[in-house]
């Protein structure tokens, strides 16, 4: 049997046919064109599923159902995208809109949640049943798997792990509060701190790294310049590690998962990031003797996590 | 059928026979005398169960099993008290020690977790399936109920909601980190802040409230003096509400329970505390339109929560 996974994004709709081992056997990508009515997007999604099934020479009878990972606030139980700024959607019954054309079970969840499920069943978290995925990108997303299943909270409005305050009265966050983990551990926050540090130290090698143009700062600037022995870059990275590790320690104490997986652009730093986080977390771990270790891993499915995780909603 | 619940404390062992409706039909209390070997404590617990069953004129055949709520780090699955500073226990297989004398199923969990289960099934949280209990006492404890069952994390080492940092580099916490919720929202923290405020304002009415003796400050001092219009007392209470509400908002965003229940001594402030927390939380709630409300409630079982919750481990 096969499972269709759709990674619905503001720019592209990525569709894949996934087998029971979590391998993508066929995939496609079409533009979302999100500025049109939601029903037209759903129509294209449905057609794309049927086209892909056909081109992969699979019978629709072999397809268990369709899973969709969508940005925004989703009500998974109802199959509705409550609100998605990326798509400009409000109260779209996406499951129903696809179901009426495909006549197969359709399940929907938030994109970060879906990625957490995919990574747990078929990626970095394979073999674990209780895991948490934290994505370090433009924002900080979270997904929680308990007992091999997604935990999403009431009406799927939990698991917003990026919107947990680690500094009361701290940096402003897009959510309206101050001091959220997202305001310290996202790539956006890292870039903000990097630029701020550069303005305080006009002699920093970070200026050379970006060719003197502060607009070229990205999530790599401080990490890469630190390797050249730049003190200000080191300060930026150490602070980033401090705040992120405190956020991860909070997750350890609250959920005590078997493993935490990190995804998103900042994870390209690999072991340089991971080992520093592990060192700090080990020293500050809550608990008495015998407290079980929480593995810290880097997500491994990359851009396919969305498709595979969405398909896994049907497994 | 009946269920025995034991609230094992550092000072007393409180035992109760609980019916299927969560009502205590008989209860007793004996001193723990924790400075003796654990097996002797377990022996007394077993004898007390048998005595109580006999005096309540119940047949042992009508007893489903025995539940124990214990302070410290518990491995519920294994029935072991891994470590309990209050009892001076390390690696005590308490379930096995009781089982060999009672010949009934024995289950063990952390006292805060057990209270959360009791309050959810039979107390303030009745009717909800997904709740969180936060106890505001000497420390800040937490218990998580998901789908009507306790969620405790790997080897029951999660749900340490008091040990989530809300202020990186903040007030020192007993767990070794800085800035934990416990370091701001416990009665201990409230007393610390009250004393600190009094030292900064020798004209504060809080001095009159404690008869000039700063050692008499307790969790009520600032709350009660504020009612007399004392500005410094108001500042202390407002700050306490700020930090606690941030911690509760974090729980909303992470778990999105149906309800959060507050227990512990500070809750004696009732609506004066609850309404201020609600006001702040409502203004800062994460989420888009239609985000489900998280009810904020005061725990209702009082000192019986331990017995009832422990008994509920068998239900």
**Cβ(A119)–Cβ(A301) under 8 Å?**
yes
Tell me the average pLDDT across B232-241: 98
The question of ipTM being above 0.90 is answered as yes
DSSP strand pairing (A2-8 vs A63-70): parallel
Q: What distances in angstroms separate CA B223 from CA B34, B99, B200, B232, B314, one per listed residue?
A: 35, 46, 17, 11, 40
Give the C-alpha separation, B230 to B206, whole Å.
8
Residues of A (47-86) whose Cβ lies below 8 Å from B: 72-73, 75, 82-83
* pLDDT attached to residue A289: 54
Q: What is the distance between the alpha carbons of residues B124 and B261, in angstroms, rounded to a whole number? A: 7
Residue B63 distance to chain A (closest CA, Å): 30
Report the pLDDT averaged over residues B114-120.
98
Residue ranges of B 19-38 with Cβ closer than 8 A to chain A: none
Among A166, A243, A292, whose Cβ lies nearest the Cβ of B155?
A292
Q: How many CB atoms lie within 10 A of CB B66?
A: 26
**A261 to chain B, closest Cα gap in Å:** 16
pLDDT band at B307 (very low <50, low <70, confident <90, very high): very high
Residue A209 has which token pair?
A: 């790294």
**Least CA distance to B295: which residue of chain A?**
A154
Q: Across the interface, do A154 and B287 touch by the CB < 8 Å criterion?
A: no
A209: Cβ contacts below 8 Å, ≥ 6 apart? A221, A224, A225
For chain A, give the number of residues: 315
CA distance B67 to B95: 9
Q: Which of B161, B246, B249 to mutate to test the interface with A (most CBs of A within 10 A)?
A: B246
Distance CA(B211)–CA(B232), nearest Å, equals 17
Q: Which residue has the tokens 């996934």?
A: A18
The Cα B165–Cα B181 span in angstroms is: 6
- Per-residue pLDDT 10s for chain A (315 aa) are 999 999 999 999 999 999 999 999 999 999 999 999 999 999 999 999 999 999 999 999 999 999 999 998 999 999 999 999 889 999 999 999 999 999 999 999 999 999 999 999 999 999 999 999 999 999 999 999 999 999 999 999 999 999 999 999 999 998 889 999 999 999 999 999 999 999 999 999 999 999 999 999 999 999 999 999 999 999 999 999 999 999 999 999 999 999 999 999 999 999 999 999 999 988 776 655 567 889 999 999 999 999 999 999 999
Q: Which of B81, B176, B256, B294 to mutate to test the interface with A (most CBs of A within 10 A)?
A: B256
Task: Say yes or no for a CB contact (<8 Å) between A166 and B163.
Answer: no
pLDDT score recorded for residue A86:
87
Residue B76: band (very low, low, confident or very high) from pLDDT cuts 50, 70, 90: very high
A22 DSSP assignment? S
Contact A73 B291 (CB under 8 A): yes
Give whole-number Cα distances, B57 to A183, B50, B54, in Å.
61, 11, 5
Distance from CA of B59 to the nearest CA of A (A): 38
Interface check for A201 against chain B (CB to CB < 8 A): the answer is: no
Calculate Rg over the CA atoms of chain B.
Answer: 21
A213 min Cα distance to partner chain B (Å): 32
Q: Predicted confidence band at B290 (pLDDT cuts at 50, 70, 90)?
A: low
Token pair, residue A233, equals 């870059």
For the stretch A217-255, pLDDT in tens is 999 999 999 999 999 999 999 999 999 999 999 999 999
The answer to whether A160 and B286 have CB atoms below 8 angstroms apart is: yes
CB of A296 within 8 A of CB of A278? yes
What lies within 8 Å, CB to CB, of A138 at 6+ separation is A186, A187, A188
pLDDT tens per residue across span B90-106: 999 999 999 999 999 99
Nearest to B115 by CA among B292, B267, B242: B267
pLDDT at B293: 86
CB–CB of B134/B262 below 8 Å? yes
- Closest Cβ–Cβ partner in A82, A154, A161 for B288: A82
pLDDT tens digits, B55-73: 999 999 999 999 999 998 9
Q: What is the pTM of this model?
A: 0.95
Please tell me the distance from the alpha carbon of residue A52 to that of residue A31, in angstroms, as a whole number: 15
Q: Percent of chain B scored above 90 by pLDDT?
A: 93
Q: Does A151 touch chain B (CB under 8 A)?
A: yes
Q: Which residue of B has its CA nearest to A176?
A: B284
Mutate to test the interface with B, among A246, A257, A294 (most CBs of B within 10 A): A246
* Distance of alpha carbon B52 from alpha carbon B55, whole angstroms: 5
How far does the CA of residue B295 sit from the closest CA of chain A (Å)? Answer: 12
CA distance A78 to A92: 10
Q: Which chain A residues are closer than 8 Å to B239 by Cβ?
A: none
Could you tell me if A1 and A305 are in contact, meaning their C-beta atoms sit under 8 angstroms apart?
A: no
């Amino acid at each position: 049997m096969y499972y269709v996974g759709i990674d619905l994004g503001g720019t592209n709709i990525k569709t894949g046919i996934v087998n029971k081992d979590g391998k993508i056997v066929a995939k496609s990508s079409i533009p979302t064109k999100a500025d049109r009515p939601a029903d037209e997007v759903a129509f294209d999604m449905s057609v794309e599923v049927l086209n892909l099934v056909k081109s992969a020479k699979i019978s629709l009878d072999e397809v268990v159902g369709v899973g969709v990972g969508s940005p925004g606030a989703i009500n998974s139980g109802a199959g509705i995208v409550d609100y998605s700024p990326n798509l400009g959607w409000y109260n779209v019954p996406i499951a129903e809109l696809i179901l009426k054309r495909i006549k197969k079970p359709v399940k929907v969840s938030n994109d970060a949640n879906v990625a957490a499920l995919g990574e747990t069943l078929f990626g970095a978290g394979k073999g674990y049943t209780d895991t948490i995925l934290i994505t370090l990108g433009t924002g900080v997303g979270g997904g929680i798997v308990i007992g091999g299943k997604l935990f999403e909270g009431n009406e799927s409005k939990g698991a917003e792990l990026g919107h947990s305050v680690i500094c009361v009265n701290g940096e402003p966050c897009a959510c309206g509060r101050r001091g959220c983990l997202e305001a310290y551990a996202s790539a956006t926050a890292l870039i903000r701190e990097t630029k701020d540090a550069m303005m305080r130290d006009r002699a920093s090698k970070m200026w050379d790294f970006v060719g003197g143009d502060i607009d070229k700062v990205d999530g790599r600037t401080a990490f890469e310049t630190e390797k050249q022995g730049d003190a200000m870059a080191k300060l930026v990275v150490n602070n980033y590690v401090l705040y992120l590790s405190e956020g991860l320690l909070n997750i350890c104490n609250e959920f005590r998962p078997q493993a935490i997986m990190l995804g998103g652009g900042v994870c390209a730093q690999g072991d340089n990031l991971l080992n520093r986080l592990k060192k700090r977390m080990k020293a500050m771990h809550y608990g008495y003797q015998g407290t079980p270790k929480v593995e810290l891993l880097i997500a491994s499915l990359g851009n396919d996590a969305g498709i595979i995780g969405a398909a896994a909603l049907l497994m």
